[in-house]
């Protein structure tokens, strides 16, 4: 994800799935914004994501969800300690991204790709997932602090807010487009 994508994610209120405006459910770590019903359909607990039989076996699933970011949970934001991305079935993932990760992994296995290539592929994806999670966590936390300060004062003018967001993104290392570009999260 690059900076314009994050800015759009923060500013736009369009649901990625159905295009409705005023979509309030955002996950910065997944890079998605949805209307609430669409969020529930598209961001799901690992164990609730239905899979075709050829993808539905434990070792593949285990590697599959390590390769994608999970949603930052509201409760994680209360912690003062920056959490590490957890890879487990109790997390919420983007269904489409999960399916795609599994499909790519399966394709490599089926085509007899060398183990080194597969390991490399997985570790690049894991790094991407970690960075998505950490950036998502920072943005969610910052966005929440903004919301609470907004409740106290009048809303800052839109342009000022955009400047603040861009400054925040630069602090997080954007504009350099140094995000791993091996894979971008798939848009629905």
Binding-site residue total for Zn ion (CB under 5 A)?
Answer: 5
Residue closer to Zn ion (CB basis): 35 or 128: 35
Binding residue for Zn ion (CB under 5 A) from 6, 28, 35, 65?
A: 35
Binding residue for Zn ion (CB under 5 A) from 10, 15, 102, 105?
A: 15
Cβ neighbours for 71, distance < 8 A, ≥ 6 positions apart: 27, 29, 30, 43, 91, 92, 93
CB of 139 to Zn ion, least distance (A): 21
Is residue 139 at the binding interface for Zn ion, with CB under 5 A as the rule? no
Is residue 52 at the binding interface for Zn ion, with CB under 5 A as the rule? no
Q: Which among 35-43, 55-63, 107-115, 163-171 is the span making contact with Zn ion, rule CB under 5 A? A: 35-43
Is residue 17 at the binding interface for Zn ion, with CB under 5 A as the rule? yes
Angle between helix 3-11 and helix 115-152 axes, rounded to 10 deg: 40
Instruction: State the Cα torsion 183-40-133-147 to the nearest 10°.
Output: 130
Is residue 38 at the binding interface for Zn ion, with CB under 5 A as the rule? yes
Residue 27 CA to its chain's centroid (Å) = 6
- The Cβ of residue 69 has, within 10 Å, a number of other Cβ atoms equal to 27
Determine contact, residues 110/103, Cβ cutoff 8 Å: no
CB of 186 to Zn ion, least distance (A): 16
Residues that bind Zn ion (CB under 5 A): 15, 17-18, 35, 38
């Amino acid at each position: 994800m690059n900076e314009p994508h994050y800015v759009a994610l923060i500013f736009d209120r369009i649901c990625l799935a159905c295009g409705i405006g005023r979509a309030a459910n955002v996950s910065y770590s997944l890079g998605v914004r949805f209307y609430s019903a669409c969020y529930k359909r598209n961001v799901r607990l690992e164990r609730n994501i239905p899979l075709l039989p050829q993808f539905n076996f434990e070792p593949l699933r285990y590697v599959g969800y390590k390769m994608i970011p999970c949603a930052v949970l509201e409760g994680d934001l209360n912690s003062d300690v920056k959490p590490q991305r957890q890879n487990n079935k109790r997390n919420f993932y983007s269904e489409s991204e999960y399916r795609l990760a599994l499909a790519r992994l399966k394709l490599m296995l089926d085509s007899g790709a060398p183990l080194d290539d597969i390991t490399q592929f997985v570790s690049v994806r894991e790094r991407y997932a970690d960075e998505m999670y950490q950036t998502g966590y920072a943005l969610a936390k910052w966005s929440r602090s903004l919301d609470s300060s907004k409740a106290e004062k009048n809303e800052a003018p839109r342009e000022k807010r955009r400047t603040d967001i861009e400054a925040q993104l630069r602090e997080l290392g954007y504009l350099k487009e140094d995000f791993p570009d091996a894979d971008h999260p798939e848009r629905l």
